[in-house]
Structure 1
Amino acid sequence: VTDWLLNSAAMSNVLSSVRDVSERIFLEDVPSARLYLSQVISALREQLQLHFTYRPYTRVNPTRDVVIEPYFLKIFKQRWYVTGLNIRDKIIKTYALDRMEDVAIGSEKFTIAPDFDAENFVKDSFGIVFTQADPHDVLIRANTRRAKYMRALPLHHSQREEIHDSFSDFHYRLRLTPDFVQEILSLGPDVKVISPPELKAMVTEALRSALDQYGLK
């Protein structure tokens, strides 16, 4: 958090002095930080329950009267997410702040289970899909051009590189989740999954589904 704040402050200082060329500077938007981030942080700090209505993209009708005990926040691909214990379902769930409505901080305090460690909870996940599945040893092969990008901006903190003459092998230790599959697909033909076979199957199935959209086999 300290590093992130320092980077943000440094960027703010730079941008505040370039108003005369602001029409030629294009920034990425983080819309989910505008409405409810301060409320969620307050509930997180005070360990108070969070009440809201949720509109997931996977359903037409919103889920009303959602109550969670917020455990931690994470920003991923320009969106803020809060993860916590859903009181009604008694399981830990993740919610995107830009899909939350009518957010209110409750008056009932909670205590996080002593055996819960937020850093350990997220360390084997790529993005914001958190499962209890076992992490896998992943090997992805990238051509030399793509390897430079992956070297400069690692996909995951567990990334380890083996450099060869015409390619690089990137090793990871993480869970196989849909958002990680989407990340691999976004790299196109520059990369190839070498192992494990479960991940190769997930990527292959996603590619087949994409080809089916165009009537190709």
Structure 2
Amino acid sequence: MKKDFYLTRYALIIKKLESAPANYSQLEEYLLNSFEFQDAGIKSYSIRTLQRDIREISDLFNLSIHNKKKGDNRYYIESRPMMEVDEYNQKLLESFQVSNALNLHPDFADFIFFESRKPTGVEHFYDLFFAIRNKRVVTFEHYNYKNKLMTSRKVHPLALKESKDRWYLIAIDTKDKTLKSFGLDRINYLDVNATKFREKYKYNFREHFKNAFGVMNLTEQNPQKIVLKCSKHQGEYIRSFALHQSQKETKETPEDIYFEFFLHPTYDFMQEILSYGKEVKVLEPKNLVENVKKHLQESLNSYFED
């Protein structure tokens, strides 16, 4: 059994048991017939390896897999982690599957093409993660694209959030005690201080982000019901890959699909809507409709000015 193949095995075992319980023979048949095993040239999978894999899956993914001792001796997932851990596990599994495919086949560059834009700022990720867990004060220089200024910041780091392939630090700025977000790609000269902050902040970020789209000022707006009318063509894409977890399909006609959301009508969400052009129209709320109209009119005016 190839040593660098274990993550692929874990992903396949979880995938199989999530669909239905299976005994050793069924798992062995599923694994050996998978394209991953065939591609790697693996022709055997012992019960001893399965038992070791189950222990490792439990430690790594917090998934409890048990075996029904009576009857057909099937393995099944007994318990699942909390929702937030489950989201993390899913992303981890996806990363493992892609990573293993690339590691096993050095010629992947002829068949797999990544986005040419390179994410920046991720070199600060673990330092900030450490600072958050240990309540360490953090200082850094932060660049503002709007006013093109570099400013010194001293913050109490509280969370990290991903939005559109960018990572943001959510922190309390000690200068004005305000909750702010800082793009990791705009942070320079990061220093995690030995000093700890003692304040006990009561933010429930999971609850806040539940109604968020992108990165936002968490105190700026209340979440609202948002209704979109989408062309049938674009609606099919939005149906298959939801814009937000609150998305609900409310109506379908031969020409259109209607969706309802409950979230903060932020600038980030408006930009997402605008990216679909005439294929998506905002019906509610009125203030978002007016903001979209204003933005479109200003965009049109900029062309006439030329």
TM normalised by structure 2 equals 0.67
Give 1:214 deviation, angstroms.
Answer: 0.4
Name 1:140's counterpart in structure 2: 228
Structure 2 matches for 1:53-132, cutoff 5 A? 53-64=141-152, 66-111=153-198, 113=200, 115-132=202-219
1:178 is the counterpart of 2:267: yes
Cα distance in 2, alignment partners of residues 85 and 142 from structure 1 = 39
Q: Is the CA contact 1:30–1:78 (under 8 Å) kept in the aligned structure 2? A: no
Name 1:206's counterpart in structure 2: 295
Q: CA 1:114–1:4 in structure 2 vs 1: closer, same or farther (change >3 Å)?
A: same
Cα deviation per residue 1:70-106 (whole Å; 9 max; x = unaligned)?
1111111111101011111101000000000000101
Name 2:113's counterpart in structure 1: 26
Cα distance in 1, alignment partners of residues 201 and 186 from structure 2 = 30
The structure with more radius of gyration: 2
Structure 1: where are the runs of 5+ without partners? none
Cα deviation per residue 1:154-173 (whole Å; 9 max; x = unaligned)?
11110001241221111001
Give 1:124 deviation, angstroms.
Answer: 1.5
Name 2:103's counterpart in structure 1: 16
4+ residue runs over 4 A deviation: none
Match of 1:197 among 273, 281, 286: 286
Give 1:207 deviation, angstroms.
Answer: 0.2
1:158 is the counterpart of 2:243: no
Q: Is the CA contact 1:71–1:118 (under 8 Å) kept in the aligned structure 2? A: no
Give 1:33 deviation, angstroms.
Answer: 4.7
Give 1:45 deviation, angstroms.
Answer: 1.8
SS in 2 for 1:95: strand
Cα distance in 2, alignment partners of residues 7 and 111 from structure 1 = 37
| Greater mean alpha carbon deviation, residues 201-210 or residues 111-120 | 111-120
TM normalised by structure 1 equals 0.93
Cα distance in 2, alignment partners of residues 127 and 34 from structure 1 = 18
Q: Is the CA contact 1:71–1:84 (under 8 Å) kept in the aligned structure 2? A: yes
SS in 2 for 1:211: helix
1:48 is the counterpart of 2:48: no
Q: Is the CA contact 1:36–1:97 (under 8 Å) kept in the aligned structure 2? A: yes
Q: Is the CA contact 1:125–1:175 (under 8 Å) kept in the aligned structure 2? A: yes
Cα deviation per residue 1:87-140 (whole Å; 9 max; x = unaligned)?
111010000000000001011223563532111122221110133221111000
Q: Which amino acid aligns with 1:96?
A: G
Structure 2: where are the runs of 5+ without partners? 1-87
Q: Is the CA contact 1:81–1:95 (under 8 Å) kept in the aligned structure 2? A: yes
| Greater mean alpha carbon deviation, residues 121-130 or residues 196-205 | 121-130
Percent identity, aligned pairs only? 29
The structure with the greater share of residues assigned to helix is 2
The structure with the greater share of residues assigned to strand is 1
CA root-mean-square deviation: 1.6
